[in-house]
Structure 1
Amino acid sequence: MRVGLLGTGPWARFTHGPALAAHPAVEFAGVWGRRPEAAAEVAKLFGTRAYGDADALIADVDAVAIALPPGPQAELAARAAHAGRHLLLDKPLAATVEDARAVAEAVEAAGVRSVVFFTLRFDEGSARWIETQAAAARGTADGHAAGNWFTGRADWYGAVFSDDASPFADSPWRREKGGLWDVGPHALSVLIPVLGDVTEVRAAHGPGDAVHLTFRHDSGASSTALLTLTAPPAAAGVAIEFRGTPGVAVYPDGVSGPAADAFARAVDALTDGTPHPCDARFGLRVTEILAAAEAALT
């Protein structure tokens, strides 16, 4: 499969590019960026071609991988889908529900495949842990919420704007949208497959960009999430757990591997033709929930 990369930032350089260049089922056909000089740098780094026009790259490939902020990602993803190109997208799918729906509808109308890179769902160890908890939820019908799970939490304490070494500290869209939109998709990508779709959202502000969310799920279970990009560096990390009939399941330290390895598994999902749960339709649903949380905050 000939794949083109749209985007030249840190995520493209450290995650997308290495995985595409090394993948045996992919020809890394070229790179486009909003800054031509950056596209030339990334193309040289991975031994591929720099494009000066996004539509020219789209015309030359079978699929596009997009490492751009959610606004331009949604616009280019819809254009690529309408051109018959498969999509390997990042989270969040879009910055608005309207734009996310346009991508999902373009994918369905064109009959192309789509994968949205929710990192933990493609990291081998993390995906196995999530599936284990989802299987436990399906295990019995004993009157407990979600079969076995009563409640859960998924907290992301990011230090993007409090750690001088973060490569993402210069990201304007992260400064505008905060932890809700950047790490909120990670939390939802874990909670939803275990506890079910979200039917109700409550939200409150915390310090900095921090938000506290409470969810009701269609299984009857409840969950919470604390999301921030301004945590003190010493407090940064991820905390996930589920509580119910089996006891307490805690996301283990050290289970996740390099992001580029997880992205390679997302490439696998796109190239092998098997539909994946993390597609554009799921990306739309996550965007709807984030927008509902944002509305609850105001």
Structure 2
Amino acid sequence: MTKPRIGLIGTGPWAEHTHAPALAAHRGAVFSGVWGRRREAAAALASAHGVKAYEDMDSLIEASDAIAFALPPDVQAPLAARAAAAGRHLLLDKPVATTVAGAREVAAAVERSGVASVVFCTLRFAAETAPWIAEQAASGGWLTGRAHWLGSLFGHGSDSPYAASPWRRERGALWDVGPHALSVLLPVLGDVTELTALRGPADTAHLAFRHASGASSTATVGLSAPSEAAGASIELYGERGRVPMPAWSDAVGSFGSAIDALARSARTGEPHACDVRLGLRITEILAEAEERLGAARTGAAGD
């Protein structure tokens, strides 16, 4: 596994702009090919990077040591479990699934097969934010945290290619950007032991968490803000005062770091901190939040 063969399943904008370029440019991995449900899209993406487009997904799995996924979460989950059962390491996208059963299926397949897994939560791998998260987790002494992630994906005049994503429109910001917030809050403040949730305008959600460390945190997420109001930030408050997370960029470079992390985990047998187990826990937390948001909506309708 010094130079793993990594195949890509998925051909959408995320695969086109992030996964495929990172795999093709990575000097420590071999981009082994592409498979997608739309054959013409798979052929175009593979041709752009000089690799093979597979007509059969199992053939790509057989030709690879690891599989990267750029799929809607509930399409990803059963295919990832299938790849893990075949003994392939997994480079998963967030969220692993939007159902606890789906995420558990992947986690169980990984445990049975003993393969390595990494969930690509961008902030855990970006050059600017990854060391910051590790530093804050090591320092401790936190009282509370605040995550604020408002996007304009579904705002007026949006021309983002991701706005056409059916699963994002159906499940909203809670599932699209909620994992990013939790991927930072959990390693720094500890597991969530209690939560509450309040629905805001459109797909906006306000979440409040109690953590195992005794600290609390809040997260506001939405994808329907006007472009003038869009922005993302995470701040921590504690013994060292107010500590804001630095800005980040370069999704391709971040995905390259995730490739490194998967290869290292596969080589050493040491699980990565942002693996399928964390992915499962994030799904469990967001599923509970979604349930509470649904209950709040039902209660409001009955008032």
TM-score (norm 1): 0.94
2:152 matches 1:156:
no
Partner of 1:144: none
- The percent identity for this pair of structures is 61
Q: Give the whole-Å Cα distance in 2 for the aligned partners of 1:55 and 1:95.
A: 24
1:40-79 equivalences under 5 Å are 40-79=43-82
Matched positions, count: 286
Does the 8 A contact of 1:78 with 1:106 survive in 2? yes
Give the structure 1 partner of residue 298 of structure 2: none
Q: Is the 8 A contact 2:107 2:276 kept in 1?
A: yes
CA–CA distance in structure 1, aligned partners of residues 212 and 149 of structure 2 = 23
RMSD: 0.9
Please say if residues 269 and 276 of structure 1, whose CA atoms lie closer than 8 Å, have aligned partners that are also in contact: yes
Name the structure 2 match of 1:15: 18
Show structure 1 runs of 5+ residues with no match. Answer: 138-147
Shift in Å, 1:124: 1.3
Matched, 1:125 2:118: no
Q: Secondary structure at the match of 1:277?
A: coil
Name the structure 2 match of 1:6.
9
Match of 2:183 among 175, 189, 211: 189
Match status 1:280 vs 2:276: yes
Kept in 1, the 8 Å contact 2:153–2:224? The answer is yes
Partner of 2:231: 237
Matched AA of 2:128: G
Question: Aligned equivalents of 2:209 and 2:60: distance in 1?
Answer: 41
After superposition, where does 1:173-188 map in structure 2 within 5 Å? 173-188=167-182
C-alpha displacement of 1:56: 1.6
Query: Could you tell me how far apart the structure 2 residues matched to 1:104 and 1:229 are?
Result: 29
What CA distance in whole angstroms lies between the structure 2 residues aligned with 1:36 and 1:95? 26
Displacement of 1:166: 1.1
* Deviation at residue 235 of structure 1 after TM alignment: 1.1
Deviations 1:201-256 (A, max 9, x none): 1001101100000000011111000011111111111121111121111123xx31
Deviations 1:81-139 (A, max 9, x none): 000000000000012000100100100100100000000000011011112211221xx
Partner of 1:225: 219
Residues 201 and 296, structure 1, Cα contact 8 Å, conserved in 2: no
Measure, in 2, the Cα distance between the counterparts of 1:263 and 1:15.
7
Contact 2:152 / 2:158 at 8 angstroms: preserved in 1? no
Residue identity matched to 2:240: P
- How far off its partner does 1:275 sit? 2.6
1:269 and 1:251 map into 2 onto residues whose CA distance is 22
| TM-score for both structures, normalised by structure 2 | 0.93
Aligned with residue 196 of structure 2, among 202, 206, 210 = 202
- Amino acid paired to 1:165: D
